[in-house]
Amino acid sequence: MAITVVGASAWHWTQTWLDAPGPHNTEIIAELPKGTSLAGIAERLRNAGVIKRPMLFRAFAMATDDARRLKAGEYAFPPAASMRMILRQITLGAVLQHRITIAEGLTTSEILALIAATEPLSGNLPAAPPEGSLLPETYNFPRGESRAAMIARMQTARTALLAQAWENRMPHLPLATPEAAVILASIVEKETSIAAERPLVAGVFYNRLRIGMALQSDPTVVYARDKGMPNNKPISRKDIAIDSPFNTYNQPGLPPAPITNPGRAALLAVLHPAATDALYFAADGSGGHAFAASLKEHNKNVAKLRAREKAKRNYSPEQ
């Protein structure tokens, strides 16, 4: 009877220690390398300040058979996490997730530069994927994921989105292939950052395509000039005359490939354009665009913009 009482008491105190709050009052990040033994894991946790009693941690892991299910990785342990919570987190492999955000409209070279500079990723960059094949999104990943794997995830996400969006597209669009939708979406992406305008801009370009009018998109000229590399220099009359299949001022129809990596919204806007009779659009000076159905109306909008810009240049605040 005495032995039973002692055993029950020991079990009670074991449970108390296992469920007691940990010694840390802030989040602690600890890395458990692959191949580390149970004893090594317990010591690392103690050295990091996550647990106080490595022997108890080891004993409980062995008693519950969790010792064989511990997973390597980088972990973020919440403040005051108990040993039971910590052991469960490691057996589940609930590793710390890092994040990389790829903005819509970046070229492939710009995306590769971001991936190369993201330290938790590992390995070398693979060969550059085609322009327009990567989906701009926010991606979570564990420390050590390879850069090649990250790029492959972006390509897989783009492929899945395009397949679904193409299947659900509006009928009678003047596009022969899903790839043509990506090309047009890449142009729409660079023409406006205002979500409500994207379907309208797509509608304008469709109107031009239907009547055989050149798209006359400035971003395609920029791409023809800079080959997808970052450059904030405004285009000139000389640039508009560049002999390139990407220059939609002197080449009919769509360019041969995307000029950037369009986001989800731009792609959906192209496959669900707004109904409009507009053939032109011009910046309105406030971040958006003014749309026009005739060249005469368009020229008026351009004149308004120039007058507004001139007024700003001549404005002198009172001292």
> At 97, phi and psi to the nearest 5?
-105, 125
> Residue 53: which of 67, 68, 65, 43 has the closest Cα?
43
User: How far apart are alpha carbons 196 and 194 in whole angstroms?
Assistant: 6
* Res 82: pLDDT: 94
197, two tokens: 């305008």
User: How far apart are alpha carbons 257 and 190 in whole angstroms?
Assistant: 14
* Res 6: pLDDT: 39
Instruction: Give residue limits of the domains in the chain.
Output: 19-92, 97-161, 170-314
**How many helices (DSSP H) and strands (DSSP E) are in the chain?**
12, 6
* Res 14: pLDDT: 58
pTM (2 decimals)? 0.83
290, two tokens: 């003014």
Q: Strand ranges (DSSP E) for the chain? A: 28-32, 73-77, 97-101, 138-142, 280-283, 289-292
User: How far apart are alpha carbons 222 and 69 in whole angstroms?
Assistant: 54
Q: What is the pLDDT along the chain (319 residues), one digit of tens a residue?
A: 333 443 444 445 556 778 899 999 999 999 999 999 999 999 999 999 999 999 999 998 998 888 889 999 999 999 999 999 999 999 999 999 999 999 999 999 999 999 999 999 999 999 999 999 999 999 999 999 999 999 999 999 999 999 999 999 999 999 999 999 999 999 999 999 899 999 999 999 999 999 999 999 999 999 999 887 777 788 888 988 899 999 999 999 999 999 999 999 999 999 999 999 999 998 887 788 988 998 998 888 888 878 777 776 665 455 4
> Residue 236: which of 224, 252, 251, 253 has the closest Cα?
224
User: How far apart are alpha carbons 199 and 217 in whole angstroms?
Assistant: 16
| Domain 19-92 CATH assignment equals 3.30.1490.480 | yes
